[in-house]
Amino acid sequence: MSGPPGGIPPTIAQLTGPVLLGHLFNWGLFGALTVQTYIYYLSFPKDKLLPKALVCAVFVIEILQTILATRDAFRNFGTGWGNMEDLNDVGWLWFSVPVMSSIISCTAQMFYAWRIYILSQKLYLSIIIGAISIVQAGAGIWCGAAAHILGVFSEVQSHEYKPTSVWLGGTALCDVIIATAMLYYLSNSRTGFRQTSLLLTRIIRITVETGFVCAAFAILDLAFFLRFQNNNYHLAPSIALSKLYSNSLLVVLNARMRVIGGRALHSAPSDDYSLSYIAHNSVTMIPFTPKASQISGQETSRSLSIAVSHQVSTDAIKNGNDKDNDAYFDDQRTSRV
């Protein structure tokens, strides 16, 4: 398709390259989100209705966002290829980027605010996080509506820098507060037990990593938007911003999962049951069974393996009656656990 008078500018790569990268990032993160959602579906069928509904709603919104963004990608690089006016047209990105990203980020931040309240039992910090999240979501929706009215990217960058600063700056500020608060309260929750410490260390690492990654992308998006007014650098992180928040939410939910027999030999099972209906009050004890070479007289250290189950179990220990098991465990009181 022929371009407008004046032809294609020499800076065409600065206009099309970031858009292409943004759509590639968006599709890649959508694939990761699909896998995360499937893992959640398989791993936590006993979760309460609220987290299930949250995961379902986020995934449906992300499907819609991907469809709308792909429609604009096909318009830019397919039917409208070479047309600079079509490249400058906002299309449906006014809805799929600022509006849907602010909704997804607000949803994830509200979830984190609730988790912080569960950890700290203090309401004021969760209220602050919720207020900042609502403000940034409102600013994001405002930016989307204004972009739809203006209609072209060149006008959006020159007229909407204030609400965009509130949207992306508020998002980054909220993420930093959440990551810092989770780090503080989880660090103070250490009990001295090795397995619990391993679990808390894993949760702290995931929370800090996802929180600061989302904040870094929001700050990067804002910096590109304010600094580079004559190109589309800001669209590279902006198009895929909602996918970062969706994946971070699913990563935190799936952190409770334990892979049996995996490479993480020292990982601890999660004892976070605030999202699940399942009670955590059963312990299965598996007695140590010596090998034939050990029975023949070789000296070996005897050990007792204890595994905590996620489900309530009332079954008796297999291959032995209660008296034999009682005698065995009495004999193992001084053994290594």
pLDDT score, position 86:
82
pLDDT band at 278 (very low <50, low <70, confident <90, very high): very low
**102, 116, 117, 113: which is closest to 65 by C-alpha?**
102
329, pLDDT greater than 80: no
pLDDT band at 89 (very low <50, low <70, confident <90, very high): confident
Q: Which residue has the higher pLDDT, 200 or 143?
A: 143
User: What pLDDT, on a 0 to 100 scale, did the predictor assign at position 141?
Assistant: 94
Residues 194-229 have pLDDT tens digits of 666 666 677 677 777 788 888 889 999 989 988 887
Q: What is the pLDDT of residues 46-82, one digit of tens each?
A: 998 989 999 999 999 999 999 999 999 998 898 888 7
| pLDDT above 80: residue 146 | yes
**Residue-by-residue DSSP string for 107-154:** HHHHHHHHHHHHHH--HHHHHHHHHHHHHHHHHHHHHHHHHHHH-BHH
Average pLDDT estimate for 18-22: 93
Q: pLDDT at position 8, please?
A: 80
Q: 73 with 18: CB under 8 angstroms?
A: no
**What is the structure's pLDDT at 198?**
66
Give the distance from CA 211 to its chain's centroid.
9
Provide the token pair at 84.
Answer: 């600079």
What single DSSP character describes residue 268?
A: -
Eight-state DSSP code of residue 336: B
Please state the rounded mean pLDDT for residues 130-140. Answer: 94
Chain-centroid distance, C-alpha 273 = 19
Tell me the DSSP string of 183-201. Answer: HHHHHTT--S-HHHHHHHH
Out of 72-81, 188-197, 248-257, 270-279, which region has the weakest mean confidence (pLDDT)? 270-279
| Model-wide pTM > 0.75 | no
What are the C-alpha distances in Å from 46 to residues 41, 42, 107, 278? 10, 10, 22, 7
Most confidently modeled of 48-62, 77-91, 143-157, 285-299?
48-62
End-to-end CA distance of the chain: 74
Do residues 86 and 76 lie in contact, with contact meaning Cβ atoms separated by under 8 Å?
Answer: yes
CA distance 69 to 240: 10
Categorize the per-residue pLDDT at 272 as very low, low, confident or very high, splitting at 50, 70 and 90. Answer: low
Read off the pLDDT of each residue in 246-266 and give the average, rounded to a whole number: 77
Q: State phi, psi for 326 to the nearest 5 degrees.
A: -60, -45
- DSSP string for residues in 74-108: HIIIIITTT-HHHHHB-TTHHIIIIIHHHHHHHHH
In tens, the pLDDT along 116-125 reads 888 888 889 9
Averaged pLDDT for residues 85-94: 86
The better pLDDT of the pair 250, 272 is held by 250
Choice among 101-110, 139-148, 205-214, 313-322 with the minimum mean pLDDT? 313-322
For residue 275, the model assigns a pLDDT of: 64
pLDDT digits (tens, 9 = 90+) for 155-205: 887 788 888 999 999 999 999 998 888 888 777 765 555 666 666 677 677
**Residue 32: how many CB atoms within 10 A of its CB?**
14
Q: What is the 8-class DSSP label of residue 263?
A: S
d(CA 51, CA 282): 24
> Which pLDDT score, from 0 to 100, does residue 261 have?
66
Amino acid symbol at 107: T
pLDDT number for residue 265 = 43
- Asked if 237 and 215 count as a contact pair (C-beta separation under 8 A), the reply is no
Task: Tell me what pLDDT residue 191 has.
Answer: 57
* 169 vs 238: CA distance, rounded Å: 13
**Number of C-beta neighbours around residue 308 at 10 A:** 14
**Highest mean predicted confidence (pLDDT) among 215-224, 251-260, 270-279, 314-323:** 215-224
- Among the ranges given (43-47, 81-85, 320-324, 327-331), the one the predictor scored with the smallest mean pLDDT: 327-331
Give residue 195's pLDDT.
61
134 pLDDT higher than 90: yes
Retrieve residue 92's tokens: 């449906």
Buried (b) or exposed (e) across 204-242, using 16+ Cβ within 10 A?
Answer: bebbbebbbebbebbbbbbebbeeeeebbbbbbbbbbbb
Block residue for tokens 């980054």: 172
Residue type, 77: F
Dihedral of the alpha carbons of 220, 223, 224, 230, in degrees to the nearest 10: 170
